[in-house]
Structure 1
Amino acid sequence: MPRTSIKAHVIVRDVVLVVSFALLTAVCAKIKLQIGIVPITMQTFAVILSGLLLGSRRGALSQITYLFGGLSGILWFSLGGGMAYLMSPTLGYIVGFIFAAFIAGKLAERGWDRKLITTGLAMIIGLSIVYFFGLLWLARFVPADRLLAAGLIPFLPGEVLKVLLAGLLLPLGWKLIGKSKKFPPEADQPMAEKIKK
């Protein structure tokens, strides 16, 4: 296959994967339980998977696509969309998605997704990043003495279940995107090395 054709294939494949995981995050945003100012959704499940399966660069790009798509007016955030979301109490969590996917992806690229324990740790680290940004922004809207009760504690049982579900689906995700657990390609450049060679 000519070099230019391989490059075009890589670009198209990356765009499809990035957009697909942005859409997955959007779908998961609509699976929600509204119990307070911050709804419980399946978004963090999609975010962590995007990092572990796509790698740092594409994982982060999928969440950047999700963020700016929502701000542009696509109604795929849990509470809608549009520029008004810049003042939403939940904006910090969405910004945190980008960094969480990036870090989870970096850890996967370093082999953390090869073992059950390190995979779980990578997920927990990614989730911690989401809640760090989420609580930091939510503090503008909620008194300090109610911050954890409003933006963290109610979500912990669900996050445990999402980590377990993501762990179970990870091997299936590898198969769907053509990534082997035993001999995984570099997550960020699945065919880049072939181009160089």
Structure 2
Amino acid sequence: MSLAISTAPKTLVDFIPNTTERSRRIARDAALVASFAVFTAILAQVKISLGFTPVPITGQTLAVMLSGAALGWRRGALSMGVYWLAGMVMPFAWYAGGKHGWDAASGTTAGYLLGFVVAAAFVGYLAEKGQDRIVATSIPAMLAGNAIVYVLGMAWLSHKLDVPMVDGEKTALSLGVTPFLAGDLFKT
């Protein structure tokens, strides 16, 4: 019986050689986290406005799921937290639609931004458990990540717009989830 500890890479970035020096490890992790925050900001600029909802179709959810799968749960969640916080202070287009600042970070889409953090952590956790290695497990992991974004986004949208979550003609579900299902299935 072997008591050896497996050192197999948990996520994609774990294939990048690590260093034994603590300062270099921290610098490497900070660069990875910042890179995915910027990647998310770039994909946020890929935007399709639908007109009937304040929430646009963007490439952000693709970046969110990839950050979790590639970075793992800690760095993935941190990269989305950095994305959210950086958008509050950046003096230029950061969020979808060229928005930035506190109003954009806490407005109708704030629930989705919180969902990005939670979804990246969830997908990252599953990736660390090997659920990103084959299509049969990676697709459900990404769909679950999208569901997290939807639930938190829909809840906040309902609060901000003072509309019901699901019951009625104009709902958070019809404004903030249904229009995006096909696009997110494609991105998954």
With normalisation by structure 1, the TM-score equals: 0.77
Secondary structure of residue in 1 paired with 2:144: helix
Aligned to 1:174: none
1:9 Cα shift? 2.0
% identical aligned pairs: 42
Q: Does 1:118 align with 2:145?
A: no
How far off its partner does 1:111 sit?
Answer: 1.1
Runs of 4+ in 1 over 6 A off after TM superposition: none
For residues 116-167 of structure 1, what are the alpha-carbon distances to aligned partners after superposition, in whole Å with 9 as ceiling and x for unaligned?
Answer: 111111101111110111000000215222221110111011001101xxxx
- Say whether the 8 Å CA contact 1:70–1:82 is kept in structure 2: yes
Is 1:25–1:43's contact at 8 Å kept on the other side of the alignment? Answer: yes
Q: Is 1:88 aligned to residue 97 of structure 2?
A: no
For the pair 1:153 / 2:168, whether they are aligned, the reply is no
Q: Is residue 143 of structure 1 aligned with residue 160 of structure 2?
A: no
Partner of 2:122: 103
Per the TM alignment, residue 62 of structure 1 is displaced from its structure 2 partner at its CA by 0.3
The match for 1:29 among 32, 44, 69 is 44
Query: CA 1:9/1:27 → structure 2, altered by over 3 Å: closer, same or farther?
Result: same
1:132 alignment partner in structure 2 = 151
5+ residue gaps, structure 2: 1-18
Deviations 1:40-71 (A, max 9, x none): 10100000000000000000010010010011
- Gap change, CA 1:86 and 1:113, over 3 Å in 2: closer
TM-score, normalized by length of structure 2? 0.81
Q: Is the 8 A contact 1:30 1:78 kept in 2?
A: yes
Structure-2 residue corresponding to 1:18 = 33
One-letter amino acid of the structure 2 residue matched with residue 26 of structure 1: A
- Do 1:100 and 1:127's aligned partners in 2 also have CA atoms closer than 8 Å? yes
**Structure 1: which 5+ runs fail to align?**
164-197
Structure with more helix by fraction: 1
Does the 8 Å CA contact 1:28/1:42 hold for their aligned counterparts?
yes
User: How many residues end up aligned between the 2 structures?
Assistant: 160
